[in-house]
């Protein structure tokens, strides 16, 4: 008998009294089998959490780093000549906006089916294949020569990333409790901010490269190929589900299964419960989270794609604009991590999220009301990135452990994310070039003018 068994008693796999309770939407759900012993707060559990952090968090965070690099590198490529080489100059920026938003259309449509389907496959295979797919799509963007080619590449990028974005919060909920989830989600989503800083440094270096191909094509290659390699590494190193993986020994598996059962409804494993899918569609909390996510994503998508362009209005060169995007993203990663840590300790998400939203709003007010002081405007960019990233990171942690069964999570998480990503489509259109440098009025509010201009541009390009 192991030391863990002698100290705490063996795991009683037959202690599976099923307790039926009425779900919040009138759907009967069944409690998962309860282990005979609680390991909460023990030294064994702390050792297990450290082991999980050492293997799972580095892989998932680096995956998200490259996912976000590949999603948002259009903003850097814009200053390196992409519109001039592929979009016929695109002096108004409308075609660039549609290339940017094409990603979100496929991303939104594929999120729910991809997340539910992911329950039927080993996580390491599903997530690894998704990384290989979006890495190839990003790399092949370097071969684009016209508007349709860029659109196709961005659509496939969205399809493959749809299998990853909602899948990670679901996957992490297999391993971490609600008291641990906020900080881990902050680490994970914080790498979106790290990607912004890292992407700015890469773009700054590429801007000075002397090669036979355009700088923006080299940028896509540099950021796309490592993602493909990382996908294969994920298939090898990422642990599968707790009950399946060889990453845990039997003592650790007992502890992890008990951790997962805390407050978790049944429907564990490679099964899909249709009743729980219905329960997700009827849960008003998911739609409320979608509304919050919509507003935050509108700001996030716009600031991610257009931050180099906004900073360029300060009167700096293209290369310096790329470099000046690094500090705001670095600060936002720190603010997000600290806020998530506090919210975990207090077990309160709403108040920290509201405070972060206010900080972001102050940033936009400063950009709007202080047109002549570039120092204040640059400070405003820090407020916007810090507030926006924090709101989204805390929102993901808030919902990841509040939906009950695995099937409901697999349905509900991509549901609110899909609703929220509609804000990303809007955010892709709120900084047209013709409105610079102040960007006081968005042409998106006048779809007839925007649509007529788009049709004109397409007739001259296709």
Note the pLDDT tens digit of each residue in 428-449: 667 665 565 556 654 444 444 4
Q: Which residues of 72-111 are buried (b: 16+ CB within 10 A; e: fewer)?
A: bbbbbbbbbebbebbbeebebbbbbbbbbbbbbbbbbbbb
Residue that is written with structure tokens 């080619």 in the block:
149
pLDDT in tens, 310-334: 788 777 777 788 788 888 888 988 8
pLDDT in tens, 266-289: 556 667 778 888 888 888 888 988
pLDDT of 226 strictly over 90: yes
**In 156-239, where do the E strands start and end?**
none
Burial zone of 28 (CB within 10 Å; 0-12 exposed, 13-18 middle, 19+ buried): exposed
pLDDT of 450 strictly over 50: no
Range with the poorest average pLDDT among 29-38, 221-230, 362-371: 29-38
How far separated are the first and last CA of the chain, in Å rounded?
72
More confident residue, 225 or 1: 225
pLDDT of 419 strictly over 50: yes
Model-wide pTM > 0.85 = no
Distance (Å) of CA 36 to CA 33, 142, 157, 167, 179: 10, 56, 46, 30, 21
Which of 206, 234, 235 has its CA nearest to residue 220? Answer: 206
**Best-predicted range by mean pLDDT (123-132, 176-185, 261-270):** 123-132
pLDDT of 20 strictly over 70: no
pLDDT in tens, 191-214: 887 887 788 788 888 888 888 888
- Helix (H) / strand (E) element for 366: namely helix 350-369
Q: What average pLDDT does this structure show over 11-21?
A: 34
pLDDT of 49 strictly over 80: yes
pLDDT recorded at residue 22: 35
Distance CA 442, CA 453 (A): 14
pLDDT recorded at residue 362: 93
pLDDT recorded at residue 446: 44
Q: At what angle do helices 447-461 and 94-118 cross, to 10 degrees?
A: 100
Using DSSP's 3-state secondary structure scheme, residue 264 falls into coil
Task: State the Rg of the chain over Cα.
Answer: 23
CA angle, 143 as apex, 147 and 150 as ends, to 5°?
25
Distance CA 357, CA 376 (A): 19
91: left (phi over 0), alpha (psi -120 to 50) or beta: alpha
Confidence band of 120 (pLDDT split at 50, 70, 90): confident
């Amino acid at each position: 008998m192991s030391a863990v068994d002698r100290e705490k008693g063996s795991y009683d796999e037959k202690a599976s009294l099923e307790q039926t309770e009425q779900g919040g939407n009138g759907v009967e759900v069944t409690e998962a089998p309860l282990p005979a012993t609680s390991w909460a707060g023990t030294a064994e559990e702390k050792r297990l959490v450290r082991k999980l952090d050492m293997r799972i968090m580095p892989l998932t965070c680096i995956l998200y780093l490259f996912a976000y690099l590949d999603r948002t590198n259009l903003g850097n490529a814009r200053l390196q000549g992409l519109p001039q080489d592929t979009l016929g100059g695109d002096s108004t920026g409308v075609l660039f906006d549609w290339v940017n938003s094409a990603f979100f259309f496929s991303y939104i449509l594929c999120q729910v089916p991809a997340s539910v389907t992911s329950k039927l496959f080993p996580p390491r295979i599903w997530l690894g294949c998704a990384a290989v797919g979006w890495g190839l799509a990003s790399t092949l963007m370097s071969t684009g020569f016209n508007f349709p080619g860029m659109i196709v590449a961005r659509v496939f990028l969205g399809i493959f990333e749809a299998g990853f974005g909602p899948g990670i919060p679901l996957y992490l909920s297999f391993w971490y409790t609600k008291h641990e989830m906020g900080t881990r989600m902050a680490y994970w989503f914080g790498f979106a901010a790290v990607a912004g800083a890292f992407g700015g440094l890469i773009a700054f270096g590429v801007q000075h490269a002397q090669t036979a191909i355009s700088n923006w094509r080299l940028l896509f290659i540099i950021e796309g190929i490592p993602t493909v390699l990382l996908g294969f590494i994920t298939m090898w190193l990422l642990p599968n589900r707790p009950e399946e993986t060889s990453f845990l020994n039997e003592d650790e598996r007992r502890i992890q299964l008990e951790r997962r059962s805390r407050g978790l409804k049944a429907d564990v494993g490679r099964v899909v419960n249709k009743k729980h899918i219905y329960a997700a569609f009827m849960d008003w909390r998911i739609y409320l989270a979608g509304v919050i996510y919509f507003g935050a994503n509108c700001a996030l998508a716009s600031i991610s794609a257009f931050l180099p362009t906004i900073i360029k209005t300060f009167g700096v060169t293209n290369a310096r604009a790329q470099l000046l995007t690094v500090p705001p993203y670095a600060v936002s990663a720190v603010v997000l991590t600290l806020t998530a840590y506090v919210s975990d300790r207090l077990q309160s998400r709403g108040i920290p999220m509201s405070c972060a939203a206010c900080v972001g709003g102050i940033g936009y007010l400063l950009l709007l009301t202080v047109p002549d002081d570039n120092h204040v405007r640059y400070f405003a960019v820090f407020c916007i990135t810090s507030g926006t990233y924090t709101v989204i990171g805390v929102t993901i942690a808030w919902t990841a452990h509040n939906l009950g069964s695995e099937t409901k999570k697999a349905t509900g998480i991509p549901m609110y994310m899909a609703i929220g990503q509609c804000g990303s489509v809007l955010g892709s259109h709120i900084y047209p070039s013709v409105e610079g440098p102040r960007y006081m009025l968005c042409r998106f509010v006048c779809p007839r003018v925007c649509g007529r201009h788009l049709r004109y541009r397409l007739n001259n390009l296709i």
